[in-house]
A and B are shown apart, each in its own frame.
Chain A
């Protein structure tokens, strides 16, 4: 086959035959998918893990008690308020998080613009607190499930701007690959039920089609909502055209579009903050008991203080629910805002809500997780298909090694298996790094990237087929042994968590075990398929031969 990117066929100026269009779309699908495929694999995989972010948090801090969602809202609010008064005096904003469901399992506080001279811990900060005692939890330092899922849009080591540009383009390429994929797909319904196993390229194509078509609504939703989520970073020009360039103009837009009503500038006259209890009682009367999720206090202790009570969002798909704005001195209810401020805001919140899936209960959460895995599998099979197809062609041609194909094959084994192994290494690091280690949480994430790099390197040093079987074996061990590691390093082993009915810790262990078994099955399957058989049979069956060095071909 020819080296480099095959050319794109140009249509005659006037005539555009149907075949030409479909061919062009196939070219676009192939190259848009390949260009950022491995990055998209990372985005989908870590994003999918994010649907169980707080569950992973819990496993990574086994010292923590089960979720404290049973606490009384008024008592918790008083506890948090006392903590803010000592830790963040003189702040412009106090934010209280009340535990209401899996998304917010423990109480927490957050503050901005506090006065360090008056004794604040820092100008801004956030803390998770034990709702029983009001103290901080004594637990190991970890990035948890939060840092793992943030990887899918922050890319960890990059600045916000760099990550935005890269992830923005990856998401756009995903959207283009989805649209062009639907266009080139002739038998979208029939292929639903078509799977031809053990047929090399055919099987990969069928798998790619099934994974893509079955969860197509999810793929389209998650991709477009990803763009909408970051819309004003990716597409700042629309705001600039109507508000002007610069930070002030941008702030004006955000204030007009997003600020709740009734917020005032600080008057710089002190006035005592009203008690929260009657406000919470009023909100709970309207929304139901235990349904106040967040309390946002602007300018606490000022005459113009405002207290905003946010309703829990777990009964609506949209990201926003009810909101009440109170005068922070008199306690008067100033505004009661319905979930939808405007149609545009409603649409945006719906997209963002669908993307985050915070509303999802256990069953729907699993469906999210499985759809995310199908998206990850769609990307993986697409990348494999690219390589398998060209490997078959290259084998028909006379022994000329294509460096591009080799690179893709190495990146495939080093990422499609290497990255999951690296995520397992993130969990291993959480249990094995010493508790007192400086920057422990950062080292957990370094472990992930060091492992990924090691797996990529390993893939390049071994014959491709061997690398697949060996790395799959590593993956099987890395996941399946996690429950054992957990049992050896903590007292929260599977038996204990099962007998206590602690479904989150037990669930994590069991899912890791199940994944280990799945990796082992894949390793065993490939091992049997590729194990040494008489040489003549092997030649016809294999799709990836051990590579002959390029120079020997000349």
Chain B
């Protein structure tokens, strides 16, 4: 059984778009919790986000289930981004 057509397209989009969201959210979270000054934490978060992006893409293609990939990436992104912004504000 192979992944074809729309399901393959959905998986690729999940990897590229969902992965980007997760990367941005993970970077935001990291920037919110790191003890460095704000500019420094944001810099570190941004630099690390690309590793998260690559990791997310690998994970999506290792699992190969489009609906699950979308759900996991979007919900994890929401949690991380909200947490990151909240903790970042609290630290100010």
A residues within 8 Å of B by Cβ? 5-11, 13, 16, 21, 24-25, 27-28, 172, 175-176, 179-180, 183, 224, 227-228, 231-232, 234-235, 237-239, 241-243, 253, 256-258, 342-345, 347-348, 351
Contact = CB atoms under 8 A, between A and B. Distances in A.
B46 A9 contact: no
A8 B8 contact: yes
A8 B11 contact: yes
Contacts of A241: 24, 28, 31, 81, 84-85, 88
A345 B44 CA distance: 8
A343 to B, nearest CB: 7
Contact of B27 (A9, A172, A237): A237
B58 A28 contact: yes
B3 A8 contact: yes
A513 B31 CA distance: 51
B28 A242 contact: yes
A346 to B, nearest CB: 10
21 contacts: A6-B2, A7-B2, A9-B3, A24-B64, A172-B54, A172-B57, A179-B58, A180-B61, A231-B47, A231-B49, A235-B49, A237-B27, A238-B24, A238-B49, A239-B42, A239-B46, A241-B85, A242-B38, A242-B42, A343-B36, A344-B36
Given A11-B64, A241-B88, A342 B37 contact: yes
Given A241-B85, A242-B88, A253-B39, A176 B57 contact: yes
A235 B36 contact: no
Given A24-B62, A175-B50, A7 B28 contact: no
Given A25-B58, A343-B36, 14 more contacts: A7-B4, A8-B2, A8-B3, A8-B11, A8-B61, A9-B1, A28-B61, A179-B58, A238-B24, A238-B27, A242-B31, A256-B38, A342-B37, A344-B44
Contacts of A24: 61-62, 64
Given A11-B63, A238-B24, A242-B32, A228 B40 contact: no
B47 A228 contact: yes
A175 B84 CA distance: 26
A345 B43 contact: yes
Interface of B: 1-4, 8, 11, 23-24, 27-28, 31-32, 36-47, 49-51, 53-54, 57-58, 61-65, 81, 84-85, 88
B43 A235 contact: no
Contacts of A27: 61
Contacts of B43: 231, 257, 344-345, 348
A44 to B, nearest CB: 18
B54 A179 contact: yes
Contacts of A180: 58, 61
A213 to B, nearest CB: 19
Nearest to A31: B12
A179 B4 CA distance: 24
A149 B10 CA distance: 37
Contacts of B61: 8, 24-25, 27-28, 180
Contact of B64 (A8, A231, A237, A243): A8
Given A238-B31, A242-B88, A10 B3 contact: yes
A257 B42 contact: yes
A345 B43 CA distance: 8
A256 B63 CA distance: 41
Contacts of A175: 50, 54
A369 to B, nearest CB: 26
B65 A13 contact: yes
A172 B50 contact: yes
A237 B28 contact: yes
B37 to A, nearest CB: 7
Contacts of B4: 7
B59 to A, nearest CB: 11
Given A228-B47, A232-B46, A257 B53 contact: no
A342 B47 CA distance: 15
Contacts of A13: 65
B20 to A, nearest CB: 8
A253 B1 contact: no
Given A24-B62, A179-B54, A256-B37, A243 B42 contact: yes
Among the interface residues A6, A224, A342, A344, which one has the most CB atoms of the partner chain B within 10 A? A344
